[in-house]
Structure 1
């Protein structure tokens, strides 16, 4: 059986490496270091992904902008988006859910 594919989007190489270490045994993991790279990957391969782990604070295009783009084009109809952030303020959590996030991990 093929492994499900997860896209990890985080500008921190250390954070991506940690998540890859945790997930790579059970999942096929793809990495993007910013939102622009994530949108590019998803525009070509979104049907391949089951899950997107998305950081909020990133250069070029932050996680909220990525999530808004995904929601606007209904890409999240085919995969779940989980936001990952150290910022667990109620306003950020609400915004993530309002934009279509499946869950929020701080």
Structure 2
């Protein structure tokens, strides 16, 4: 998973990674917001969902302590990080400003 993940975040297209868990209530409310972000931005963003229970090493590697945690990568570099649920407009603003 890790080498595949590295290939994904090294993309020229910015990548928003959503670390989540199936049992997490706020994660469930974030999912449709991220779908709206993707439909608004289309090819300008890649959104990747990582289940922390299935990928504990990856979560630990990025020091994800709580879910949901979103990380924004641009050409492999982490440029933004936020825990908790944000509204669509805030997420789009962050993506556009990076």
Q: TM-score, normalised by structure 1?
A: 0.35
> Which one scores higher on RCO, CA 8 angstroms, separation ≥ 6?
2
TM-score, normalization: structure 2?
Answer: 0.37
